[in-house]
Amino acid sequence: MEELRAVIEDLLSPLLGGYAAWAATFALTMMKIVAIVLPLMLCVAYLTYAERRVIGAIQLRIGPNIVGPMGLLQPIADALKLLLKEVILPARAGRFLFLIAPAISLTAALAAWSVMPFSPGVVLADVNAGLLFVLAVTSMGVYGVIIAGWASNSKYAFLGCLRSAAQIVSYEIAMGFALVTVLMAAGSLNLSAIVLGQEGPTFLSWYWLPLLPMFVVYFISGVAETNRAPFDVAEGESEIVAGFHVEYSGMAFAIFFLAEYANMILIAALASVMFLGGWLPPFDFPPFNWVPGFVWFFGKIAFLLFCFLWFRATFPRYRYDQIMRLGWKVFIPLTIVWLVVVGLWMQTPLWFWN
């Protein structure tokens, strides 16, 4: 990395003089960002394809299979179609806010990836308070929803945004408490340090075992945070048309879609970093630890994403008051109790996860 930096700096110094060092840093950071975002967008595109195929299989249908071999070009065709469509501005909508809302959603979904460790040392920004950073950045995604619903100047969009925002704020509390137990176990807020804290001979040394209830709470809260079925009341088609993005069309709508799927991948990645050992192999002996770390990491993410799709095909939609009950009256007390249990457990010699 440093050599690359020096090369770029040398190339730019005749042009920019003293500013070449900056420009090199800037260019290198940009390259790293592109290296994360481009594959991520590709993953998002193929996650939509995977979703349609998996749910098709669960419902004994085929799913998209016409465009390209096995329908593999379907996401590209969808993206092209949405790009070519007109973005319609509703009458008396707040123009600026209406257009900036999808951008806020997507920014929040992408910014959190900057602290994600893919392999030992492979991370864009190795921030000390990485876990907090992720929580803060993802909590800003709710503004995309609120602003979209309000600026649309439409009752259905507004109702959808209120539902969604209340749901996201409620489940964030349970999620935060689940993360507190993780940072207690790891003794660090740095995501790389959390993965390294789970190092051990087998998958039993990962945090899913002592923090199993927290893992379940975190994952279900993640499903609720991303407004996915069975918690997708924000876009309940049968009740409020399509929720907060009912007035959006074309690429503006597509960006909300991208943000939702990028958020799903983010939740799956965070769950695998915090509870399933990130890039660590399930067994630390030859046939398993020959496989490079990021393959394990992506495998874990893929499994959790499959769970997202599986839930959507399996469970009926929750009623709104039941969602709130689950968040406030079941998950938050459960997490608080488990916080105390873990605190006490860590003081005994029976705590094996150091």
Partner 1 sequence: MVEYGEEKKLRGTVPSFALIVFYAFSAVLLCAALGVILVRNTVHAALLLVLAFVASAGVWMLLFAEFLAIVLVLVYVGAVMVLFLFVLMMLDANLESLRSGRGRFLSAAVALLVAAQIAAALNRDSFLQLPRFEAPAEAAGDNTRLLGSVVYTEYAYPFELAAVLLLVAMVAAVALSLRRRKDVKYTDPAVQMRASPAGRVRLVDMPSEKPPQTATVETNKTTEKRKGEKQ
Alpha carbon of 103 to those of 15, 82, 143: distances in Å? Answer: 33, 16, 10
**Least CB distance from residue 326 to partner 1, whole Å?**
9
Q: Which is nearer to partner 1, 158 or 219 (CB)?
A: 158
Of positions 47, 178, 189, 255, contacts partner 1 by CB under 8 A: 189
Sign of CA dihedral 285, 287, 290, 295: negative
* Residue for token pair 């608080």: 336
* Site for partner 1 contains 285 (CB under 8 A): no
**C-alpha closest to that of 171 among 98, 109, 228:** 228
Of positions 10, 19, 42, 340, contacts partner 1 by CB under 8 A: 19
Query: Which of these segments, 17-25, 56-64, 68-76, 287-295, binds partner 1 (CB under 8 A)?
Result: 17-25
**Least CB distance from residue 22 to partner 1, whole Å?**
6
CA angle, 81 as apex, 78 and 84 as ends, to 5°?
Answer: 150
Q: Which is nearer to partner 1, 240 or 305 (CB)?
A: 240
Using CB under 8 A as the binding rule, the residues of this chain from 117 to 156 that contact partner 1 are 127-129, 132-133, 135-137, 139-140, 142-143, 146-147, 150
Specify the 3-state DSSP secondary structure of 119.
strand
Q: Which are the contacts of 295, defined by CB distance < 8 A and separation ≥ 6?
A: none
**Least CB distance from residue 129 to partner 1, whole Å?**
5
* Site for partner 1 contains 97 (CB under 8 A): yes
Query: Cα-flanking dihedrals φ and ψ of residue 203, to 5°?
Result: -70, -5
Q: Which is nearer to partner 1, 61 or 155 (CB)?
A: 155
Round to whole Å and give the CA distance between 67 and 74: 5
Counting beta carbons within 10 angstroms of the beta carbon of residue 289, is it exposed (0 to 12), middle (13 to 18) or buried (19 or more)?
A: middle
Per CB under 8 A, residues contacting partner 1 are 17-19, 21-22, 25, 97, 127-129, 132-133, 135-137, 139-140, 142-143, 146-147, 150, 158, 162, 165-166, 169, 172, 189, 322, 325
